């Protein structure tokens, strides 16, 4: 598999091999991380940027009552804290959801390269802005969509993002999120997530089976949930 970060940046900008090489050179040797392990913990002063190469992770907070809220999902190509070290302290944690491969980039080295390569800098900006757009979309979902729309909208988001990085094969996405995790992301109980998934399955719209997401009727799902992928700001769309 080619480098997931390059793959992702190519979604925004053309990436000449020479530039790709320079970026790749900054990446540390990949490290394997088991599932359910923190990559960064609230209160940490992070030292380097972490790049996801394989596997899934999430940003999350634990509340005083012990409940968890997930605020983002990270897929291959996503970065933990691009602007690391501007802030002194993490205000949330990041944990793997599956076994993962990650690499590090030292901030100073990255900054030097970005200064020298404006196109790359713009690509990183774009990545950051897309992250913000996604967060706003989550706020909209949690505020104004009911449980069925929330679940469907999230699945369409993940499906679109996975498609952009080549993770979708035969219209199926291996998506190892438990119903508990989906609930923690959407502010729902796992029991309720279960009922919603059943309804979506019974209506023939989408299905999660053995850790695999299949969207049978994406047009209907998009209509029902108010999903419009323009907030993901993909420049170079892949063929479906």
Partner DNA sequence: CTCGCGGCTTGATACAAGTCAAGTTGTTGA
Partner DNA sequence: TCAACAACTTGACTTGTATCAAGCCGCGAG
Query: Rule CB under 7 A: which residues touch DNA?
Result: 146-148, 178-180, 187-192, 194-195, 197-198, 210
Contact string 198-237 vs its own copies (x = CB under 8 A): ----------------------------x---xx-x----
Residue 28, phi then psi, degrees to nearest 5: -70, 170
Single out the residue of 101, 187, 201, 207 in contact with its own copies (rule: CB under 8 A): 187
What distance in Å separates the CA atoms of residue 75 and residue 100, rounded to the nearest whole number? Answer: 10
Helix locations, 117-177, DSSP H: 118-144, 147-164
Residue 28 or 67 with smaller CB distance to DNA = 67
Does residue 37 interact with its own copies by CB under 8 A? no
Single out the residue of 126, 176, 189, 217 in contact with its own copies (rule: CB under 8 A): 126
Q: How many CB atoms lie within 10 A of CB 84?
A: 20
Single out the residue of 125, 171, 195, 211 in contact with its own copies (rule: CB under 8 A): 125
Judged by CB under 8 A, the stretch of 2-10, 28-36, 56-64, 206-214 that binds its own copies is: 56-64
What distance in Å separates the CA atoms of residue 217 and residue 144, rounded to the nearest whole number? Answer: 23
Helices 179-186/147-164 angle, 10° precision: 110
Does residue 64 interact with its own copies by CB under 8 A? yes
**Taking Cα atoms as reference points, which of 69, 229, 210, 213 lies closest to residue 153?**
229
Does residue 14 interact with its own copies by CB under 8 A? no
Write the CB contacts of 210 (distance below 8 Å, at least 6 apart in sequence). Answer: none
**Residue 128 in tokens:** 């950051």
**Residue 33 in tokens:** 């991380």
Partner from DNA, its own copies, none contacting 180, C-beta within 5 to 8 A by type: DNA
Residue 70 or 188 with smaller CB distance to DNA = 188
**Residue 108 in tokens:** 């100073």
**Taking Cα atoms as reference points, which of 64, 118, 68, 111 lies closest to residue 93?**
68
**Least distance (Å) from DNA to the CB of residue 155?**
14
Which residues are near its own copies by CB under 8 A?
59, 61, 63-65, 67-69, 71-72, 83, 86-89, 91-92, 115, 122, 125-126, 128-129, 131-133, 135-136, 138-140, 142-145, 184-187, 226, 230-231, 233
């Amino acid at each position: 598999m080619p480098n997931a970060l390059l793959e992702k940046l190519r979604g925004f900008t053309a990436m000449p091999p020479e530039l790709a090489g320079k970026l790749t050179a900054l990446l540390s040797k990949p490290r394997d991380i088991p599932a359910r392990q923190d990559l960064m913990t609230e209160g940490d002063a992070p030292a380097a940027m972490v790049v996801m190469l394989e596997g899934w992770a999430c940003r999350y907070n634990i509340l005083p009552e012990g409940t968890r809220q997930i605020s983002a999902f990270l897929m291959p190509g996503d970065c933990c804290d691009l602007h690391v070290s501007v802030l002194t302290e993490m205000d949330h944690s990041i944990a793997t959801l599956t076994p993962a491969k990650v690499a590090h980039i030292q901030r100073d080295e990255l900054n030097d390269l970005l200064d020298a390569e404006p196109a790359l800098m713009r690509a990183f900006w774009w990545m950051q802005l897309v992250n913000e757009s996604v967060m706003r979309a989550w706020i909209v979902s949690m505020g104004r969509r009911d449980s069925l729309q929330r679940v469907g909208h999230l699945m369409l988001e993940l499906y679109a993002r996975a498609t952009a990085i080549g993770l979708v094969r035969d219209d199926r996405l291996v998506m190892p999120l438990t119903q508990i995790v989906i609930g923690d992301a959407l502010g729902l109980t796992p029991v309720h997530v279960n009922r919603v998934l059943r309804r979506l399955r019974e209506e023939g719209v989408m299905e999660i089976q053995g850790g695999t997401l299949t969207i049978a009727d994406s047009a209907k799902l998009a209509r029902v949930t108010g999903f419009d992928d323009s907030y993901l700001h993909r420049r170079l769309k892949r063929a479906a």
